[in-house]
Chain A
Amino acid sequence: MTERRNCDLLAAYELNILEEAERRLFETHLPDCPDCLEELFAHAPVVTELLREPGLYAGRMTRPQSDPSLWNRLAAIFRRQPARVVAPLLVAALLAFVVFLPRNEASPFPGLARTDAPAYSVIPVRSGATADWQPLWQEGMLLYVAEEFAAAAARLEQAVPLLEQAVAADPHQRRHLDNARFYLGASRMLTGDADAAVPPLEAAATSHLPPVRQKSLWYLAQVHLLQDDPDGALAVLAPLESSPVYGPRARDQVAAIRSAR
């Protein structure tokens, strides 16, 4: 194997996926290759961090809309056996026409929902505090930022009961609880589970903090629309119409709902 080929083993070596013989080969090459040694040295913190929590970073790599794996596989099958691709697609199209189109025509309300992910910014701070809910909250929000909404919801579901206990002991923790409930509801909405999104959003909408309360109401209205419940959405949007932040979009949405009726 040439030097060039030996160097090509570097990434697999540092991620520790080489078989024993390959690993030995690369390690024998190392003392004579200052470039590879320097690369290993320079990249060591990245590798250490990747191996610390590979699942977290795997989620960050996912871009489902740009993942062509299914398309490639279908294309490969199509080239060999076109009927195996065309027939299921025809059936799926027929089902979509029969099942979904009539419902969309009958109910325009889910289409009015604005389900963009509410923003969250990670602010790294050094804190000596180590409340039991904090690691779950931080992990959950890192997953949320990484658009791993199902995994984020799973972490936040665990954090909320711990936060409820914390609030019982210290009411000043309430803002953390409201935030966790809000992002739990948002995460569930974003995974398509509108029904499960309602309870945490309703709870967050009772927050004493206007920003949390108002954004919870806004997303609660969107969830009601997804549930095909325009009355529920209108009831939630009503107090938002006077909000300086949500007022214009709430009034627009109320008008759209009434118009759709």
Chain B
Amino acid sequence: MSTAEASLDILCEKSLAGDARAEAALFEALRVRFLPIAKRRVHADQAEDLVQDTLKIVFDRYGSRNEGQGILVWGMTVLRNVIGNHYQSRNRERERIDFVDELPRDAADAHDPFSDLQLADTRRLLLDGIAQLAERFPRCGRIFHHLLHSLEKGGGPQEVSTRTLDLVRREDPDMNRGRFYTALHRCRAQLRDVLAGMDKGLSHD
């Protein structure tokens, strides 16, 4: 399989094994996918720099990430942190010199419930969110339940998905792989809606 035909995670495996061509291909593939996201949030001339910073961190640390997570999604979390740090330093600069810069018009301004949260808060919000999901959308609750249990048991992507699909088929014998992916996608959207609708305040009595 050539580097052009391999998925990002295969490129990642090859890179970790010392394949320089795979590493270059992975670098470029991630850059192409990160850049549009960064450009929607910061000035275009800063976007390249932020993506470079992100890639530096990704390549520095991708060997130590959670093995169950794909390189692209993990890289997205790094990009979020880098952009978040950029905003923070910009805000500090604003306070210092009393100068207000304008963000690009199309900068994403929707509230992100995870933007200001530490790990414990994220976990708490997610625990509440998925409990609500299971209550409001029981089928989604069951699909996620089987999938997460299967992920907990471990194994490669095919092993995890096949195991999950077998469990889902016990309740829905007509389910095939394509329908399962679609159902999972809809349940993910439901989870996103539930999380977005939850109160951002995380006070617990």
Contacts and interface: CB of A to CB of B under 8 A. Distances in A.
Interface residues of A, number: 60
A41 B138 CA distance: 27
A245 interface: no
A85 interface: no
Interface in B171-205: 171, 173, 178, 180-182, 184-185, 187-188, 191-192, 195, 202, 204-205
Contact of A8 (B9, B130, B181): B181
A180 B157 CA distance: 38
B123 interface: yes
Given A16-B157, A124-B120, A54 B152 contact: yes
A132 B112 CA distance: 34
Nearest to B196: A42
A214 B79 CA distance: 51
A169 B159 CA distance: 48
Interface residues of B, number: 73
Contacts of A7: 185
A40 B164 contact: no
A123 B202 CA distance: 9
A113 B154 CA distance: 41
Given A18-B161, A123-B204, A68 B134 contact: no
Given A10-B185, A38-B108, A57-B127, A31 B32 contact: yes
- Consensus secondary structure, chain B interface: helix
Nearest to A45: B114
B70 interface: yes
Interface stretch (A59-67, A99-107, A203-211): A59-67
Contacts of B69: 16, 47-48, 51
Given A45-B80, A145-B127, 5 more contacts: A8-B181, A12-B161, A27-B29, A37-B33, A44-B76
Query: Which 10 residue pairs spanning A and B have beta carbons closest together?
Result: A58-B148, A55-B152, A61-B145, A11-B188, A44-B76, A54-B151, A17-B161, A54-B148, A23-B7, A45-B114
13 contacts: A12-B180, A12-B181, A14-B70, A16-B70, A16-B157, A24-B5, A27-B8, A30-B33, A54-B149, A66-B135, A66-B138, A67-B138, A68-B171
